[in-house]
């Protein structure tokens, strides 16, 4: 298992094809997610900033794969995945938040009284100490038996035969629908007085929806691509808002609990005030962006496009195409190309975690 993290080549992008069974696609997506974790693990253990970020992203993508195929994963293993992947993802996030907060404080310092700029040094030092502490926790977590057991279980996912034997194409829209409904429910709760937690949860759901759509890219066309672009922009905006709220909360805690010099506390107060204005603007922008996305019916159109492509993907190549408009003809051409790629492709399009997963597998 450890050898996968020392590979000379980075993990390739995961793509699931409509002609794969749901079971094969689930094994492939979960194995790919575990490989991504292992790829970034060594550098993250050393404390490098970007690998830590990528480790967190890999955990988010793996969670999206788990949720996409949750209906065909046996319940005991699904429970472990849902418990342990967020467990180490949260710890990686704790380290990452120190980096983001320090960068944000440094950037906002340019907007406060110039005489107070030098006074932020104790804050940066406190964040650095916190980062060291959180990174030490992550290091021990990644070396723990619990984490090793999780990786082992990811390499051998228990997939149900009933439901898993279906072809992915015709059921892809059905598998994605829970993520769309979850995001829509949270989006309806957005309001000027909504708790910050609602925005954070929506950001997590938007990420999951985006990652799921990326995995089934061969079933998409123009609407699919436009929706992905909208989701990425919305995720970025919600992420900026989240970063500001985290930084504000940390500064408030620092001002209330630290024994910092008076000028540093004044600087903390000025930064909190500066971030408050930024937070209000971002909150309004997030709400407007979500309303625009909701009114566009982007997800409804994308799901309809995926359903059409799924039906066309399993039609015999020699069968005459049904009457269709121009967009549906494009989907037919795309599905035929996808089938030819699958037929020409090797049994596996990525290195599996071990020999067992390699035979099973061929996000």
3-class DSSP assignment, residue 73: strand
Percentage of the residues of the chain whose pLDDT score is greater than 90 = 71
- Given this model, what pLDDT does residue 336 score? 44
pLDDT (tens digit, 9 = 90+) per residue, 284-310?
999 999 999 999 999 999 999 999 988
Per-residue pLDDT band at 220 (split at 50, 70, 90): confident
Range picked from 168-172, 307-311, 318-322 for highest mean pLDDT: 168-172
Give the residue-averaged pLDDT of 317-337.
44
Q: Are 304 and 180 in contact (CB under 8 A)?
A: no
Structure tokens at 73: 């994963």
Domains and CATH numbers, the chain: 22-157 (1.40.20.10), 166-345 (1.40.20.10)
CA 20/CA 175 separation, integer angstroms: 14
Structure tokens at 323: 């009457």
- pTM, entire model: 0.81
Q: Which of 41-45, 205-209, 234-238, 327-331 has the lowest mean pLDDT?
A: 327-331
Per-residue pLDDT band at 333 (split at 50, 70, 90): very low
pLDDT at 343 exceeding the cut of 70:
no
Q: Computed from CA positions of residues 28, 16, 32, 131, in that sequence, does the dihedral angle turn out positive or negative?
A: negative
Find the Cα–Cα–Cα–Cα dihedral 47, 48, 50, 51, rounded to 10°.
-60
| Nearest CA among 100, 105, 96, 103 for reference residue 269 | 105
Give the residue-averaged pLDDT of 198-218.
95
pLDDT at 313 exceeding the cut of 60:
yes
pLDDT at 226 exceeding the cut of 80:
yes
CA 132/CA 363 separation, integer angstroms: 32
Burial class (CB in 10 A: 0-12, 13-18, 19+), 186: buried
Q: Which of 42-46, 74-78, 101-105, 336-340 has the lowest mean pLDDT?
A: 336-340
Per-residue pLDDT band at 80 (split at 50, 70, 90): very high
CA 180/CA 201 separation, integer angstroms: 13
Per-residue pLDDT band at 69 (split at 50, 70, 90): very high
CA 140/CA 245 separation, integer angstroms: 28
3-class DSSP assignment, residue 305: helix
CA 80/CA 146 separation, integer angstroms: 10
pLDDT (tens digit, 9 = 90+) per residue, 233-272?
999 999 999 999 999 999 999 999 989 999 999 999 999 9
């Amino acid at each position: 298992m450890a050898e996968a993290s020392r590979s000379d080549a980075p993990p390739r992008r995961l793509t699931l094809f409509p002609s794969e069974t749901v079971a094969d696609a689930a094994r492939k997506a979960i194995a790919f997610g575990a490989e991504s974790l292992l790829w970034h693990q060594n550098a993250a253990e050393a404390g490098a900033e970007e690998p830590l970020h990528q480790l967190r992203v890999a955990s988010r993508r793996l969670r999206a794969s788990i949720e996409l195929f949750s209906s065909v994963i046996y319940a005991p293993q699904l429970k472990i995945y849902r418990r342990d992947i967020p467990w180490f993802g949260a710890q990686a996030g704790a380290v990452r938040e120190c980096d983001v907060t320090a960068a944000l404080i440094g950037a906002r310092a340019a907007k406060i009284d110039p005489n107070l700029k030098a006074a932020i040094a104790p804050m940066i030092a406190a964040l650095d100490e916190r980062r060291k502490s959180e990174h030490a926790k992550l290091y021990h977590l990644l070396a723990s038996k619990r984490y090793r057991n999780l990786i082992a279980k990811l390499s051998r996912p228990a997939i149900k035969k009933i439901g898993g034997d279906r072809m992915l194409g015709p059921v892809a829209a059905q598998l994605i629908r829970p993520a769309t409904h979850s995001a829509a429910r949270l989006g309806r709760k957005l309001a000027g007085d909504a708790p910050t937690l609602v925005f954070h949860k929506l950001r997590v759901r938007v990420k999951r929806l985006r990652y799921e759509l990326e995995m089934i890219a061969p079933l998409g066309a123009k609407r699919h691509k436009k929706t992905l672009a909208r989701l990425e922009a919305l995720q970025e905006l919600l992420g900026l808002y989240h970063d500001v709220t985290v930084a504000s909360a940390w500064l408030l805690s620092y001002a209330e609990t630290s024994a910092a010099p008076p000028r540093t506390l004044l600087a903390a107060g000025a930064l909190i005030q500066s971030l408050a204005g930024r937070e209000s603007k971002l909150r309004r922008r997030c709400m407007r962006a979500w309303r625009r996305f909701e009114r566009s019916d982007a997800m409804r159109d994308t799901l309809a496009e995926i359903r059409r492509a799924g039906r066309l993907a399993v039609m015999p190549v020699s069968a005459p195409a049904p009457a269709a408009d121009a967009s549906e003809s494009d989907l037919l051409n795309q599905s035929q190309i996808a089938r030819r790629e699958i037929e020409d492709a090797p049994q596996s399009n990525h290195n599996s975690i071990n020999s067992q997963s390699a035979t099973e597998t061929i996000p």
